[in-house]
Amino acid sequence: MRKILLHPAAKPVVFVLCLLPLAWLVFAAAADQLGANPAEALIRATGDWTLRALCLVLAVTPLRVMTSTPQWARFRRMLGLFVFFYGLVHLLSYSWFDMGFDLAEILRDIAKRPFILVGFSAFCVLALLAATSFPRAIRALGGRRWQALHRAVYAVAGLAILHFFWMRAGKNNFAEVAVYGAILAALLGWRLWRRMARERAPGRPGSATPLS
């Protein structure tokens, strides 16, 4: 597994795999396979893929630790940027198909509907994390401040689930919300459990260990 993860082709393969959902959506739209309301289908699908990518990027650290395979970390930044990418496509789909790129109407909608405000807030945090995900930003901020900033991904997870919950509340359909919520709760709960275990470790009384 370590040899596979370190192979020069590994990152290009992961990159292509991450683009496949978008390629399928473009094909389905062109082939009229998105159902009776293709605009809504595109908005919903890009939101779903944003959540899935978020679950994947949060799964990297547990997978790396539990399998003792640090090579998984090679893909974390790429997956994180794909969270932002699909979030951006989701926002653009909403802005285009629902709002016709009418900026004034978009701003009114953000102020009027809480679930839109929460989703937009999550995207703004994602944009900040994407902009500071490169080595130059890490050097400029310093490692400790950069790590503190990028823990905001946990806030993104909470906002994303709240956005999804409120969006589905109108139809009283929470099955998918529960699935994503359980996955994200498990991923964040593992980090909390790991931190508590470190703090209880002999020789480290009261030590403050950041979530990772």
**pLDDT over 70 at 84, yes or no:** yes
The structural domains of the chain, with segments of one domain joined by +, span 2-200
> In angstroms, rounded to a whole number, what is the distance separating the alpha carbons of residues 184 and 101?
32
204: confidence class by pLDDT, cuts 50, 70, 90: low
Question: Residue 212: what pLDDT?
Answer: 43
Question: Residue 203: what pLDDT?
Answer: 60
- Identify residue 39 by its one-letter amino acid code: A
CB under 8 A, 24+ apart: contacts of 183-190: 183/55, 184/54, 184/55, 184/58, 184/157, 184/160, 187/55, 187/58, 187/59, 187/62, 187/157, 188/58, 188/154, 188/157, 190/62
Question: Residue 209: what pLDDT?
Answer: 37
Which helix H or strand E contains 176, and what residues bound it?
A: helix 175-200
> In angstroms, rounded to a whole number, what is the distance separating the alpha carbons of residues 49 and 123?
14
**pLDDT over 70 at 210, yes or no:** no
Phi, psi (deg, nearest 5) at residue 47: -65, -40
> In angstroms, rounded to a whole number, what is the distance separating the alpha carbons of residues 135 and 171?
44
Report pLDDT digits (tens) over 162-202: 999 999 987 788 999 999 999 999 999 999 999 898 888 77
Report pLDDT digits (tens) over 109-142: 999 999 999 999 999 999 999 999 999 999 999 9
Question: Residue 115: what pLDDT?
Answer: 94
Nearest to 70 by CA among 82, 78, 62, 80: 62
Report pLDDT digits (tens) over 38-81: 999 999 999 999 999 999 999 999 999 999 999 999 999 999 99
Question: Residue 28: what pLDDT?
Answer: 96
> In angstroms, rounded to a whole number, what is the distance separating the alpha carbons of residues 129 and 56?
16
Question: Residue 211: what pLDDT?
Answer: 43
Q: For residue 204, what are the CA distances in angstroms to 143, 190, 195, 198?
A: 22, 20, 12, 8
3-state SS assignment for residue 45: helix
**pLDDT over 60 at 208, yes or no:** no
Going by the DSSP 8-state scheme, the letter that residue 72 receives in this structure is G
